Amino acid sequence: MNYDFSKIEAKWQKYWAENQTFKAENNSDKEKFYVLDMFPYPSGAGLHVGHPLGYIASDIYARYKRHQGFNVLHPMGYDSFGLPAEQYAIQTGQHPAITTKTNINRYREQLDKIGFSFDWSREVRTSNPDYYKWTQWIFIQLFNSWYNNDTNKAEDISTLIALFEKEGNATVNAISDEDIIVFTADEWKAFDTKKQQELLLQYRLTYLAETEVNWCPALGTVLANDEIINGVSERGGHSVIRKKMTQWSMRISAYAQRLLDDLNTIDWPQPLKDSQTNWIGRSQGASVTFNVKDHKEQIDVFTTRPDTIFGVSFMTLAPEHELVATITTPEQKQEVEAYIQATAKRSERERMADVKTISGAFTGAYAEHPFTKEPIPIWIGDYVLAGYGTGAVMAVPCGDQRDYDFAKKFDIAIPNVFEGVDISEEAHADKDKTVIANSDFLNGLPYKKAMKLAIYELEKIGHGKGKINYRLRDAVFSRQRYWGEPFPVYYLDGMPQMIDAKHLPITLPEVEKYLPTETGEPPLGNANVWAWCTKENKVVDNSKINNETIFPLELNTMPGWAGSSFYFNRYMDPNNTDAIFSDDAINYWQDVDLYIGGSEHATGHLLYARFWQKFLFDKGVVPKNEFAKKLINQGMITGTSAFVGRIDGFQYERGKWGTEGYYGGTYNVNSNIYISAGRSNDQELLKDLLKANKPETDNAIKAYNEIINDIENFKISIRQGVHADVSFVNASDELDIEAFKNWREEYKGAEFITEENGTFKVSREVEKMSKSKYNVVSPDSICEEYGADSLRLYEMFLGPLEQSKPWNTAGITGTHGFLKKLWRLYLDDNGAKFTDATPTKDNLKTLHKTIKKVAEDIENFSFNTSVSTFMICVNELSSQKCTSKEILEALAILVSPYAPHIAEELWEQLGHNTSIATAPFPKFDASHLVESSKEYPVSFNGKMRFKLELPLDLSKDEIEATVMAHEKTIAQLQGREPKKVIVVPGKIINIVG
RNA sequence: GCUCGAGUGGUGGAAUUGGUAGACACGUUGGACUUAAAAUCCAAUGGACAUUAGUCCGUAUGGGUUCAAGUCCCAUCUCGAGUACCA
């Protein structure tokens, strides 16, 4: 019997599907274990071999846990709202739902071929109305909540209204907007409904407000901070500008401290935690209030260095700061306005590109130092960000490099408030050993004490207090797109109203065009049936809008991260139509035990999901404060591109760079000659080629003549190569010349300079796997040629899960060969080889060594080393000619998480008629590994010279005596007397001297 | 700039608490089988020197601790990831 992997894999994939082998029950006496993968966005390109890496790892873990007797939840679904499908819809008119469905079907086909143990009965799709009903439901919960700082959790908005009615808002300790008016209970009651709603919006956890947003004109939408990379959009790389718009926001800042603190409670990779910590950006300092001369307004600033308050020599406001217009003097008005206009026009990218250019303008106004009462000039400058702190800084040029540079540029005084520090060249930002000087009551104090005293004194005069500031901004939650969740919101008198949860889902309306409307409204503005009837409680035709019973609906949709912020909970009970999930389901499954996915989601999905989880926890909806106990980032698989060396230019060099007579450079030629990698350094050949290929441009001809005249002394190399599709190249880096020639018209007449044996070698380079680099390998083609089990093993064998590593199909013959060898251990041409033979001592030793190592490896997520362990085990059992059924049964279970198809088949061949999936994992028995002797390495001065087999029960002295008497020891010492002999029983012997 | 991570054969990588560096594979070379190829099997494979025995060098670089360092400490270099005027 041969190892016919295609037949075996198809057979068991069908078996698993038909028998629902991996369906997880919500009621079970077994202990639960929840293994989750980050669900994919189903793109049109399908999966390449890099994508399933994490899925294979999690699948191995899930299968291992089933062998250990756990009830395992291992679901999969799709993050199916998103930009690519919509961009495609704009170009082709194809409804994104259709594109998405096609792509999902393709993904499913590809996933099925790899043999994952997913419980497909629990699949979710974020774009499915049955799913986004609950996204909308959570949105409503957030709208109806506020954050109470006293109880340190989210509460229903009704408790806030009760407080307002009782005592107004002066005593309320809430996370809210900064600029809230103070009112009494009587005033609250006197406000009209609209005013009350406006005020409540300033407290709600999701709120509508005019905010400065990142507007991407090319995509026609706003973007969140985490969707912008290096000042351009993450998708498409379009430029982004700052713009004020009315948008839904999520008050994630309310949870900043808890998001930070609870990082300590979860087992996530440190780099990921670090990047969340940086993103949240907690800084401790003080807020200080400055009076403005001749104005009643005050300016609040945040500073981390209140100890340097006597070093303030000017203030800088962000150009967008609201006080700028008020305080600017008539003389300075023109200059200030010109500056504001100039900065507003600059895109984020431009701003970031030239951080070094210092710019600003003087407002003509002065603030008053809270202690010295000295006038302080007020400037504006775009190095101050409107969005951070209060959008204003007290500038201390002696202690902050940016302030220092600004002061130098505009010739502002730089008073020194540090003892014995020279600030003539640069600012002194160090805190630790700093002692304050020239600062009245702070003189002579070290940083920490000065901090405390400064805050104390500021509080005493009512000009400031200690404060903690976070970099984390509230998250903009509106997108001007079609393919996203609609908001369950209609507008009455300009104020947002929630649609009652019992009428959800509010499904996406049909539109003719997926572009913004002519008046610049989002795509939903094109919908004709998009109004809410409060009588019928349904979506009706826009023409019926009367603003009495029928109102316009929200035109924005939700961002991509909405649906992915709670899907892990929905998997617990995905088909529930009455609730987001049943109490039974959530109480049984609780949280994710193992979550595997890419580190690129560190500050997006993973932060938002933690935020929603905490909110749902506060509301008593979920029992856990954090949704995933352990998280692992799988590394990226890069491609190994193949380059065919084409003579399209020469690089020439004579002499050493910088010395007399040096002559070097490059020029282009037109040729269709290709040179094998093994010969691309053959100077004689290259020189002949150079001679035969005269360039065309004047400069190049000059260089050509120079080289020809003195060709002996030149070193020639060819300039570059062209990508060849990796499928044309075999394991030995040899190109299929015919396939390459037929690939493209331009290669038809190509001429090839081969190796001496007639083959043509390509050169290799590691690059990102991408279509444009012709290095994409799809899992389907691998499954077809080698089988899913070979693929699964090879992906793990490549290296540590967390590391990024290059894919090279050539190596897969190693794991494929292993599977054939494994098969032959059980079966040969005559059928079964296994017998009831009693296992030998060696058999048992090999098996138990393997059990121990594999179990440890899986627990440590070191899957690459367990593949090696299997190979060693099979090599050993083969040479032991092991036929013992007892050993082979255990081995099949060990291999089953990694190569489930072959394991199932062997299990059946061994005589079992149920799946191997829940067969108990073999128990490790240490007694089989007990050794009576050890082959000691004998070192002289730390260098191993020979090995010596000695019984393990020898004492230190006995070992020493035996070794010293050994003839090789005497030969090594050559009569020298050893100074010292180190004996570590069971480990090593080292002779010094 | 700051934060984090990583540098080991031709290649992917192994070495769990300091204790035989290079497991296991790929590739390469030689051999067996075959008309031939594929497949399979066997052997060799870090470098240098040496007929053999063996010797020397070797985990990015330079120091240090130790009987013993890929592993620990100090300094430097290179690469990768994240972040970027955060007051």
Q: How confident is the model at residue A211 (pLDDT cuts 50, 70, 90)?
A: confident
CA to C1' distance (Å), from A614 to B17 = 39
Q: In angstroms, how far is CA A510 from the centroid of its own chain?
A: 34
Q: How many residues does chain A have?
A: 993
CA to C1' distance (Å), from A381 to B1 = 21
- pLDDT of res. A355: 65
**Which amino acid is residue A3, in one-letter code?**
Y
pLDDT average, residue stretch A336-344: 85
Q: How confident is the model at residue A656 (pLDDT cuts 50, 70, 90)?
A: low
- Cα A164 from Cα A170, distance rounded (Å): 9
- pLDDT of res. A720: 63
- pLDDT of res. A918: 92
List of domains in chain A: 138-255+476-558 (no CATH), 282-470 (3.90.740.10), 639-769 (no CATH), 931-992 (3.10.20.590)
Q: How confident is the model at residue A238 (pLDDT cuts 50, 70, 90)?
A: confident
Nucleic strand B under 7 Å from the C-beta of A217: no
CA A851, A853, A857, A863 torsion: positive or negative? Answer: negative
Q: How confident is the model at residue A350 (pLDDT cuts 50, 70, 90)?
A: low
pLDDT average, residue stretch A757-774: 82
- Taking 70 as the threshold, does the pLDDT of residue A253 lie above it? yes
Considering all nucleic acid strands, name the nucleotide whose C1' atom is nearest to the C-alpha of residue A857.
B16
- Cα A235 from Cα A958, distance rounded (Å): 71
Token digits of residue A284: 């401790």
- pLDDT of res. A425: 82
| A455 or A978: which leads in pLDDT | A455
Return mean pLDDT, chain A.
89
Strand B close residues, chain A 358-397, CB < 7 angstroms: 382-385, 388-389, 391, 393-394, 396
CA to C1' distance (Å), from A756 to B36 = 21
- pLDDT of res. A658: 61
- Taking 70 as the threshold, does the pLDDT of residue A881 lie above it? yes
CA to C1' distance (Å), from A573 to B14 = 43
Please say whether the beta carbons of A558 and A487 come within 8 A. yes
pLDDT average, residue stretch A271-297: 90
CA to C1' distance (Å), from A835 to B33 = 30
pLDDT average, residue stretch A910-939: 90
**How many other C-beta atoms are found inside a 10 Å radius of the C-beta of residue A807?**
25
- pLDDT of res. A513: 87
Nucleotides of chain B touched by protein CB (<7 A): 3-5, 11-16, 19-21, 23-28, 39-41, 54-56, 67-69, 80-87
Over the stretch A212-222, which tens digit does the pLDDT of each residue have?
Answer: 777 777 777 77
Considering all nucleic acid strands, name the nucleotide whose C1' atom is nearest to the C-alpha of residue A986.
B19
- pLDDT of res. A183: 94
- Cα A783 from Cα A115, distance rounded (Å): 10
Strand B close residues, chain A 580-639, CB < 7 angstroms: 599-600, 602-603
Angle in degrees, CA A872, A873, A876, rounded to 5: 85
- Cα A72 from Cα A117, distance rounded (Å): 10
Token digits of residue A296: 């009643």
The residue with tokens 């572009």 is A515
- pLDDT of res. A349: 61
**How many other C-beta atoms are found inside a 10 Å radius of the C-beta of residue A327?**
22
Please list the alpha-helical segments (H only) found in A561-682. 567-570, 583-589, 605-618
Strand B close residues, chain A 254-283, CB < 7 angstroms: 270-271, 274-275, 278-279, 281, 283
Q: Which of A81-90, A282-291, A513-522, A631-640 has the lowest mean pLDDT?
A: A513-522
Please say whether the beta carbons of A54 and A598 come within 8 A. yes
Considering all nucleic acid strands, name the nucleotide whose C1' atom is nearest to the C-alpha of residue A764.
B11
Over the stretch A524-558, which tens digit does the pLDDT of each residue have?
Answer: 999 999 999 999 999 999 999 999 999 999 999 99
- Cα A557 from Cα A579, distance rounded (Å): 23
Over the stretch A791-840, which tens digit does the pLDDT of each residue have?
Answer: 999 999 999 998 888 888 888 999 999 999 999 999 887 888 889 989 99
- B13: residue with closest CA to C1': A799
Strand B close residues, chain A 508-547, CB < 7 angstroms: none
Considering all nucleic acid strands, name the nucleotide whose C1' atom is nearest to the C-alpha of residue A302.
B87
CA to C1' distance (Å), from A969 to B71 = 28
CA to C1' distance (Å), from A814 to B44 = 19
Nucleic strand B under 7 Å from the C-beta of A715: no
Please list the alpha-helical segments (H only) found in A827-953. 841-859, 863-879, 885-895, 900-909
Strand B close residues, chain A 930-959, CB < 7 angstroms: 935, 937, 939, 941-947
Give A465-511 as a DSSP string: EEEEEESPPPEE--BS-SSSPBPSEEEETTEEEEPPGGG---PPPP-
- Taking 80 as the threshold, does the pLDDT of residue A330 lie above it? yes
Give A280-293 as a DSSP string: H-EEEEEEEEEEET
Which residues of A carry a binding-site annotation for ATP?
Answer: 771
Considering all nucleic acid strands, name the nucleotide whose C1' atom is nearest to the C-alpha of residue A944.
B20
Token digits of residue A170: 């002066």
Strand B close residues, chain A 467-506, CB < 7 angstroms: 469, 471
Over the stretch A146-159, which tens digit does the pLDDT of each residue have?
Answer: 999 999 999 999 99
Report pTM: 0.91
- Cα A331 from Cα A960, distance rounded (Å): 95
Token digits of residue A437: 């000087």
pLDDT average, residue stretch A59-76: 96
CA to C1' distance (Å), from A947 to B50 = 23
Q: How confident is the model at residue A731 (pLDDT cuts 50, 70, 90)?
A: confident
Strand B close residues, chain A 401-420, CB < 7 angstroms: 402
CA to C1' distance (Å), from A867 to B31 = 29
- Cα A929 from Cα A481, distance rounded (Å): 64
| A700 or A785: which leads in pLDDT | A785
Strands (E), A523-627: 531-533, 538-540, 550-552, 594-597
- pLDDT of res. A352: 62
CA to C1' distance (Å), from A843 to B69 = 36
Nucleic strand B under 7 Å from the C-beta of A303: yes
The residue with tokens 């500056």 is A339
DSSP letter at A975 equals: T
Angle between helices A863-879 and A788-797 (to 10 degrees): 120
**Which amino acid is residue A828, in one-letter code?**
D
Strand-strand pairing, A221-223 and A206-216: antiparallel
- pLDDT of res. A196: 95
